[in-house]
A = this chain, B = another copy of it.
């Protein structure tokens, strides 16, 4: 049987190919904008969110191909958020995944517009994808409405706002969790829900998948914080110790390293328990991904 790492690589390849096709066939747009978009969108990365979309759809018996436009749309939303977060007015980062950030290469104006273009395109892609695969209109519209909430002021954008507002402040664990839940958690949760919706999951199934995904998103963030303390710069492709240098609240800074690791372990076990043994779901892939992603060293 395929390992989670193999699955992740295989499906990330599928996502990369399709994203490259979308960029290639994105005609009638300014050349420089296309370059700026391609630079960030085709930069690789784990493709965690789109792979979760595909994995969930497949685990419910739907071909990954059907869910691919939606998976790519989510990756576009994720990429736009990274481009905007890296801007001088925000986190002011020069490097991302070991390469110069978008605005360092194309300038701030183009980086802002590349982000705007990707966010706008993502919604069009979801609508076109729904039409192409004949997803029921109501399901498609609910899915788009939820994408808007999860990625918007109630979710990811709101989380980034609160993250910026709390910079250099001491925060409670509750505030930290609230920020993470929205800034990164909402999109991860939505990835799993999206895969479920495309595959026609019912409300009870979606609810269980949601709990699983919420735990996974939280665990992923704790792992990220831990890696920033103990990770290997070479493997991660980014500087470690950056959270501490920025005086940023993290799980290790609030709980200590050892309690953070314990919290991670418990979180992931609880997450998995929401889908373990469910007969409507082929749980092998999702459980494997959950273990792999939260024991990763990069």
Contact = CB atoms under 8 A, between A and B. Distances in A.
Given A124-B145, A131-B142, A137-B136, A119 B119 contact: yes
Contacts of A148: 120-121, 123-125, 127
Copies in the complex: 2
Interface in A136-189: 136-138, 140-142, 144-145, 147-149, 151-154, 157-158, 160-162, 164-165
A126 B107 CA distance: 32
Interface residues of A, number: 56
A30 B120 contact: no
A28 interface: yes
B124 A108 contact: no
A161 to B, nearest CB: 5
Secondary structure type dominating chain A contacts: helix
Contacts of A87: 109, 112
Given A89-B107, A109-B90, A113-B161, A141 B138 contact: no
Most B CB contacts (10 A, CB to CB) among A30, A116, A138, A154 go to A116
A-B pairs, 3 with minimum CB distance: A137-B137, A124-B148, A89-B108
Interface of A: 26-30, 32-34, 37, 80, 84, 87, 89-90, 107-110, 112-113, 115-117, 119-121, 123-128, 130-131, 136-138, 140-142, 144-145, 147-149, 151-154, 157-158, 160-162, 164-165
